[in-house]
Amino acid sequence: MAYSRCDGAVWGPLSSDYHQMEEGAKDHLCAQCRQTMLEEEAAKRPAHWDLYAGQYADHLEHFYPSTLQVRSCGDEPVVLVRLTLAEDGPYWGWYFSYHPSNRSSKGIVSFIYRRDFLVDMCFPYGAAAEARRGTGSIVRLSAEILRPAVHPEGI
């Protein structure tokens, strides 16, 4: 049998945690790492996400965790926005699951656009391939402006 490292194995020069994924597993995980991921997904998945964004006349754009990142995209006013899952929401984004390969991005949403194909384009093999591997999913979102941002904050 060929050696295939589990994505949940800690990888580094001082690590000997090179355990293997289940043979043929689409998510590249062993049973224990998959169980941990599912438990974290159930316990920690956020109900909403607060990000900064640029406020245009009829929409929001450039969603980021810091005002600095939004400012680098344009001169529009920056607002703090709450994103919530919504079937008919005007935005699409990528939800990073608790799959171990997501590392510090677990549980966040990113790549937020007004078209789903723009999210799809963020992945070399398309979002569907990533979703099959369990690293996340395309989500549809509504956005509520909470308040104007004070610059700088949320760095």
What residues form DSSP beta bridges with 110? 94
Closer to Zn ion by CB, 24 or 124: give it.
24
Q: Is 17 exposed, middle or buried (0-12, 13-18, 19+ CB in 10 A)?
A: exposed
One DSSP character per residue, 36-79 reads HHHHHHHHH--SEEEEEEEE-SS-EEEEESSHHHHHTT-SSPEE
Q: Which of 25, 30, 70, 79 binds Zn ion (CB under 5 A)?
A: 30
Binding track over 87-116 against Zn ion, x by CB under 5 A: ------------------------------
Q: Does the footprint of Zn ion cover residue 6 (CB under 5 A)?
A: yes
Closer to Zn ion by CB, 6 or 70: give it.
6
Closer to Zn ion by CB, 25 or 109: give it.
25
Q: Which of 33, 79, 119, 149 binds Zn ion (CB under 5 A)?
A: 33
